[in-house]
Structure 1
Amino acid sequence: MMVLILAVVLIPLLGATINGLFCWFTKRKAHLIAVPAIAIPAICSLVLLGKVLHGEHFDQVLYWWIPLGDLRVPIGFLLDELSAVMITTVSFVATWIHVYSIGYMDHETPRGYAKYFCYLNLFVFFMLTLCLANNFLLMFVGWEGVGLCSYLLIGYWYEKASAANAGMKAFIVNRIGDFGFMVGLFLIYKHLGTLLFSQAFAQAEHLSVGMATLITLLLFTGATGKSAQIPLYVWLPDAMEGPTPVSSLIHAATMVTAGVYMVARTHAFFNMAPLSMEVVASIGVATALMAATMALVNNDLKRILAYSTVSQLGYMFVGVGVGVYAAGIFHLFTHAFFKGLMFLTAGSVMHALHGELNLQKMGGLIRKMPITGWTFVVGALAIAGIPPLAGFWSKDEILAGAFMGGHKVIWAVGTFTAFLTAFYMFRLIFLTFFGEPRERHLYEHAHESPPVMTIPLIVLAVGSALAGLLALAPHGGIAGFLNRTLGEAHGAVHHEGSVVYVLMAVSVAMGVAGVALAYFMYMRRVPDTVALAANFRPIYTLLYNKYYVDEIYFALIVNPVVGGSRHVLWKFVDVVIIDGAVNGTGRLCRLVGSGLRYLQTGYIPDYAWMILVGAVVIYWIGRLF
């Protein structure tokens, strides 16, 4: 078992190392290293998942990394139901994203091609490390590693100012959340004396409610950054500046799911802090609604998908926040398939339209790109919660958990958000793939992507259609499997059959209503969308400008900090103090040297007098001390 776990973690690192050090040699053949470096861990993950299904677990220290007095931090790995599902999801979806990248990045320079696959392998390595770590510090290494790789890949085309700025924005915003995470880790060590999961969780009941609340809120602060929740979600839409397979990897398999996983992993602490659970669920549902409303009026293909990711992550936090942890992780699992699929289909559209992303310039593309179009429809049906596709099962588990747990407002907002989700996703589909072309020259040059790009679409479409059926597996399905590790929070209520069926019917009705409204508005033009936008101009403007959150952050935080840095840190600290000290030292030395120069007369009597004076001074100094 240890050999398989080491293979899962180290083979992606080996692939990244080879392509990083020998990019001058691998060049256009870099994928021959990179794809197997993820495919082999995917196979190993499936084997490990099978072992966990049969009751085997692994929690072992491999090496004492930091033996420093009372602080002893190991490199060790934990394989249980939660980590087995995570590594299987990450490695499987990442494998097909790597395959897709062979075609999508074909235009890159040879060294750029190798560098891209190096970063991609490194990204997966850090995510797998995060998921398999058996202690907080090793998890934090993976946590920071995925943050670094997101910076490198979002800003991959750093010659573009927008890409460089987006990478920097992602890095800085995540550092804000990571500060809270670090303080939470310090408090865990201070009060529990260990960073090992097994020991810390066993002692969780010794924490006071107040301290458990403080620790969990700090941990959740880190999660809001990594998983793009209010107020730290602003980096994720801008992350679309990176290559589209990178967007798929970030949104589907790595990075943004890390926060949800971390909250689920630390459920022993969250169970001790009911207030924190309420905060997590409330922030999650508010983010889900806010992101969905911003997607309603956006015309950028990738940004709509980005807002949908923010919204779906909100659902996952609702799940863990109301105590149905397994439902939250189940939605993470199904979301990986349909969101990975939709980003890759968006990349296929861009590939066919020479990078065009504006929905208003598309239309009718399904006739030119049938595989891309129909696989996107499968993904959209899944995210809209239409049965029996994957999103229906996982999203309804979350909403049912909220309702049965007494969180009626959260259930109502989540159900309404499901309606908005179906609407904006099918708005995107009808504007992109159906109807008549709005830019004839783009339509004429459109073409289906090569097999190396369409085969991953088909595989992920099958996953988007069937992954949810794991809810029907024996012994409680995937939720029962995950509950071996996660359990349910105190107060979580088991579902009652008749009520659940009613809730499912309401949820499906909302999804169907959203699809129907999008059809009438964008295919039948009833009502007229232009007139509707004009009639609700203030609301439309507010949503189009994303609630002016970026502008508010710039006005209240960025500009004052930059201005203060310019006037205090640069003009005073740097110029006056540091430069003054350096330049002043030089001027002082020159001044002293100029004075001493006059003493060098060349006359022996002058030197004799100086020797005499010096001797007298030394004598009196000796007498004094």
Structure 2
Amino acid sequence: LIHAATMVTAGVYLVIRANPLYTMIPEIGFLIASLGAFVALFAATMALVNKDLKRIIAYSTLSQLGYMFVAAGLEAYWIALFHLATHAFFKSLLFLGAGNVMHAMHDKLDISKMGALYRPLKITAILMILASIALAGIYPFSGFFSKDKILEAAFGSGAYILWGILLLGAFLTAFYSFRLIMLVFFGEKKHEEEHPHEAYPYMLYAMLPLGILAVFAGFFEPTFHHFVTQTLPDFSANLESQTIWNLIFLTSFVALSGIAFAVLKYKKGGFSSKWQETFIYQLLSHQYYIPMLYDRLFIQNYIRLAKVAWLIDKCVVDFVVDMIARFLNSSGESMQWIQGGNLSKMLKIMFFGVVVLLLLVLIFFVCMEAVWTTF
């Protein structure tokens, strides 16, 4: 819940909250919107082929953050906040549903090794399907209202390239969402669990309000708009009614096409093994080789630096500390005869000490007299 609904969206909230600064510099806002569109598409493409249940949902979260940043960058702050709110409901529902699936699969995450879990996890499956429909932006689910508003804002602001990227992202979102649903709950059974079971009732009861909100939260748009625009600047796409309806039908058609394509494709077993040998699949499955690049540029060099620091610590710092300890130990052993308890020896040492002190005092006075005579 924290990851899906609050923590990762803190950056979006900060941009919205600091809206006077971004309004003063619209070029920076457009840069944020452009970066958001890139992230929306970039993360969505990586979710297309990933097999890790939680990673797919995490990439989806990153992609939806891109949508929010597009709205915030185009000064549609209340729309960005509205998508942040609706997204919290269906995305946290997906993460909690993924937890139920992990519980049934004994913490296994590879969706290509699941399948046929609809019957034993029926309630979880229904809730995750509802959340996926909301994520895809299908009417009347909550995601439709907020995501469609972002696309309207991009189109109405004249950012047609950003609008096109987000429209493509809507297709990819619908596709990978139902790719996950098909591979996990439907299709051929590929797991070895004999008796996968549904989560405990209290877990399902906790998910139920999120399911209701994922379906109906979008209908609170007028109330939400009235409430937040008391603080945030209002935004209107200034589009004609016919244009808005055309955009709604186009976006809905694209999202439904993505769902239909995923259902039909994975109902037949998915893509062939030849697809997995292509350069595009390898590029996406390796996450554009960014983790590998990150590992070689930062992690490996950091390990090398740590090894050098360890050698310095061992050969220099430890050596100096050990030498001090050995010197103190040896000097203590060599001087222990002073504390032998022999009275005559102790008197001799005391006498020697008094003589040394008197000599030091004498030297001090002689030096002081010489200095006084000079000046």
In the alignment, which residue of structure 1 is the partner of 2:99?
347
Per-residue CA distance 1:266-317 (angstroms, 9 max, x = gap):
2222223334323322222222212111111112222211111111112112
In the alignment, which residue of structure 2 is the partner of 1:194?
none
* 1:363 and 2:102 matched: no
In the alignment, which residue of structure 1 is the partner of 2:256?
512
Alignment of 1:17-36 (within 5 A): none
Q: CA deviation at 1:605?
A: 7.2
In the alignment, which residue of structure 1 is the partner of 2:373?
none
Identity of aligned residues (%): 39
Q: CA deviation at 1:344?
A: 1.9
* 1:555 and 2:296 matched: yes
For residue 158 of structure 2, give the secondary structure of its aligned residue in structure 1.
Answer: coil
Q: Say whether the 8 Å CA contact 1:315–1:398 is kept in structure 2.
A: yes
Q: Distance in 1 between the 2:170 and 2:259 partners?
A: 11
Alignment of 1:161-240 (within 5 A): none
Q: Distance in 2 between the 1:621 and 1:408 partners?
A: 90
* 1:419 and 2:168 matched: no
- The structure with higher relative contact order (CA 8 Å, sep 6+) is 2
Match among 479, 483, 487 for residue 225 of structure 2 = 479
Q: CA deviation at 1:395?
A: 0.7
In our comparison, the structure showing a higher alpha carbon Rg is 2
Match among 448, 453, 463 for residue 198 of structure 2 = 448
In the alignment, which residue of structure 2 is the partner of 1:470?
220
Q: CA deviation at 1:609?
A: 6.0
Counterpart code for 1:513: S
Q: 1:608 to 1:311 in 2, by over 3 A?
A: same
Q: Distance in 1 between the 2:355 and 2:116 partners?
A: 102
Q: CA deviation at 1:382?
A: 0.6
For residue 274 of structure 2, give the secondary structure of its aligned residue in structure 1.
Answer: helix
Match among 254, 257, 264 for residue 6 of structure 2 = 254
Counterpart code for 2:233: G
In the alignment, which residue of structure 2 is the partner of 1:566?
307
For residue 530 of structure 1, give the secondary structure of its aligned residue in structure 2.
Answer: coil
Q: Distance in 2 between the 1:604 and 1:361 partners?
A: 89
* 1:589 and 2:328 matched: yes
Counterpart code for 2:51: N
Q: 1:619 to 1:455 in 2, by over 3 A?
A: same
Q: Distance in 1 between the 2:104 and 2:31 partners?
A: 44
Per-residue CA distance 1:402-421 (angstroms, 9 max, x = gap):
22222222211111111000
Q: Distance in 2 between the 1:613 and 1:407 partners?
A: 91
Match among 148, 155, 160 for residue 403 of structure 1 = 155
Match among 23, 28, 43 for residue 276 of structure 1 = 28
Q: Say whether the 8 Å CA contact 2:170–2:254 is kept in structure 1.
A: yes
Counterpart code for 1:501: W
Per-residue CA distance 1:69-90 (angstroms, 9 max, x = gap):
xxxxxxxxxxxxxxxxxxxxxx
Counterpart code for 2:203: M
In the alignment, which residue of structure 2 is the partner of 1:612?
355
Match among 452, 461, 469 for residue 211 of structure 2 = 461
In the alignment, which residue of structure 2 is the partner of 1:579?
318
Counterpart code for 2:172: L
Q: Say whether the 8 Å CA contact 2:152–2:237 is kept in structure 1.
A: no
Q: Distance in 2 between the 1:599 and 1:621 partners?
A: 28
Counterpart code for 2:308: H
How many correspondences in the alignment?
Answer: 364
**Structure 2, unaligned runs of 5 or more:** 369-375
* 1:523 and 2:264 matched: no
* 1:376 and 2:128 matched: yes
Q: 1:624 to 1:581 in 2, by over 3 A?
A: farther
In the alignment, which residue of structure 2 is the partner of 1:391?
143
In the alignment, which residue of structure 2 is the partner of 1:318?
70
For residue 273 of structure 2, give the secondary structure of its aligned residue in structure 1.
Answer: helix
Q: Distance in 2 between the 1:400 and 1:380 partners?
A: 22
For residue 345 of structure 2, give the secondary structure of its aligned residue in structure 1.
Answer: coil
Q: Distance in 2 between the 1:344 and 1:610 partners?
A: 80
With normalisation by structure 1, the TM-score equals: 0.54
Q: CA deviation at 1:389?
A: 0.8
Alignment of 1:95-174 (within 5 A): none
Q: 1:408 to 1:595 in 2, by over 3 A?
A: same
For residue 602 of structure 1, give the secondary structure of its aligned residue in structure 2.
Answer: helix
**Structure 1, unaligned runs of 5 or more:** 1-248
Q: Distance in 2 between the 1:598 and 1:341 partners?
A: 78
Per-residue CA distance 1:502-524 (angstroms, 9 max, x = gap):
22222112101111211221113
Alignment of 1:54-93 (within 5 A): none
Q: Distance in 1 between the 2:111 and 2:350 partners?
A: 90
Q: Distance in 2 between the 1:619 and 1:502 partners?
A: 106
Per-residue CA distance 1:453-489 (angstroms, 9 max, x = gap):
2223332222111111112x3xxx4233212211158
Q: Say whether the 8 Å CA contact 1:362–1:437 is kept in structure 2.
A: yes
Q: Distance in 2 between the 1:515 and 1:603 partners?
A: 97
For residue 413 of structure 1, give the secondary structure of its aligned residue in structure 2.
Answer: helix
In the alignment, which residue of structure 2 is the partner of 1:500?
244
